[in-house]
A and B are shown apart, each in its own frame.
Chain A
Amino acid sequence: MQLIVTAINKAYSSVQAVKNASFHINSGEIFALLGPNGAGKSSIIRMLVGMTKPDSGSIMISYQDQHYDHVPRRLLGYLPEDRGLYPDKSIEKNLLYLAQLHGLSKSKALSEMDYWLDVFELTQRRHDELKQLSKGNQQKVQLIAAVLHQPALVILDEPFSGLDPINQEKVVLFLQQLKAKGMTVILSAHQMAMVEKLADHMLLMAQGQVVLAGTLQQIQQQSQNQRQMKVGFSSEVNAAQLEQLAAVVTVQQLQARHYLLTLAEQASVSDCLKQLLQYGELTQVEMQSADLHQLYLAAMARHKPEAAA
Chain B
Amino acid sequence: MISRQSLIVARWEFLRFFKWKQQLVSYLLMLAVIAAIALWSFFTDESQQQYRIAVPAELQITNTEQFQFQRPGIALETQLMQMQSDDSWHAVISLQDGQLVVHTLTGKKWLQQLDEVLQKHYRHLAAQQMGLNTTQLAALEQPVEIETRYLDQSYKGKDTPEKIIAIGALILLFVGLSTAFGQVLVSITGEKQQRVTEQLYAIVTPQQWMDGKVLGHSFSALKAMLTSALVMLLSFAVVSVFTKKAVDLSWLDISVVLWLIPFALLGVVLCASFMGAIAASIDDPNNSGKSAVMMITWLPMVFTFIVIDSPAGIGMTILSFVPLTSFAAMPVKMAMVTVPWWQPLLSLLLLLATVYWMRRVAGRVFLRGMQMYGKEPSWGDIVR
Contacts and interface: CB of A to CB of B under 8 A. Distances in A.
Contacts of A98: 199, 203
A52 B373 CA distance: 10
B357 interface: no
Contacts of A142: 199
Interface in A98-124: 98, 100-103
Contacts, number: 56
Nearest to B4: A103
Contact of A80 (B4, B16, B198, B371): B198
Q: Which secondary structure dominates where chain B touches chain A?
A: helix
Given A73-B203, A73-B204, A101 B5 contact: yes
Nearest to A82: B195
Interface in A137-196: 142, 145
Contact of A101 (B8, B195, B370, B371): B8
B203 A84 contact: no
Contact of B12 (A52, A77, A97, A145): A97
A101 B204 contact: yes
A78 interface: yes
B198 A83 contact: yes
B198 A82 contact: yes
B16 to A, nearest CB: 8
Interface string B117-156: 0000000000000000000000000000000000000000
Interface residues of B, number: 20
Contact of A51 (B16, B195, B370): B370
Contacts of B9: 101
Given A80-B198, A82-B198, A101-B8, A51 B371 contact: yes
Interface string B1-34: 0001100110010001000000000000000000
A86 interface: yes
B202 A101 contact: no
Interface string A54-78: 0000000000000000000100111
A38 interface: no
Given A82-B195, A85-B194, A87-B194, A101 B373 contact: no
B202 A78 contact: yes
Q: How large is the interface on A (under 10, 10 to 19, 20 to 34, 35 or more residues)?
A: 20 to 34
A39 interface: no
Q: Which secondary structure dominates where chain A touches chain B?
A: mixed
B201 interface: yes
B95 interface: no
B295 interface: no
A142 B205 CA distance: 20
Given A52-B371, A97-B8, A101-B9, A80 B194 contact: no
B204 A86 contact: no
A219 interface: no
A85 B370 contact: no
A101 B196 contact: no
A98 B370 CA distance: 19
Nearest to A87: B194
A80 to B, nearest CB: 4
A110 to B, nearest CB: 16
B158 to A, nearest CB: 50
A262 B196 CA distance: 43
Nearest to B212: A101
A202 interface: no
Contact of A85 (B196, B203, B205): B196
A80 B12 contact: no
Given A82-B373, A100-B8, A73 B202 contact: yes
A152 to B, nearest CB: 13
Most buried by B among A84, A100, A101: A101
Contacts of B339: none
Contacts of B8: 97, 100-101
Contact of B202 (A80, A87, A100, A103): A80
A78 B204 CA distance: 12
B105 interface: no
Interface of B: 4-5, 8-9, 12, 16, 194-196, 198-205, 370-371, 373
Of all A-B residue pairs in the complex, the 10 with the closest CB atoms, nearest first, are A84-B195, A78-B202, A80-B198, A84-B194, A101-B203, A82-B195, A100-B8, A82-B198, A84-B196, A83-B195
27 contacts: A49-B201, A49-B202, A51-B370, A51-B371, A51-B373, A73-B202, A77-B202, A78-B198, A78-B199, A78-B202, A78-B203, A80-B195, A80-B198, A80-B199, A82-B373, A83-B195, A83-B198, A83-B199, A84-B194, A86-B196, A98-B199, A101-B5, A101-B200, A101-B204, A102-B203, A103-B4, A145-B199
Given A82-B198, A85-B199, 14 more contacts: A73-B202, A73-B204, A77-B202, A78-B198, A78-B199, A78-B202, A78-B203, A80-B195, A84-B195, A85-B196, A86-B16, A97-B8, A101-B204, A145-B199
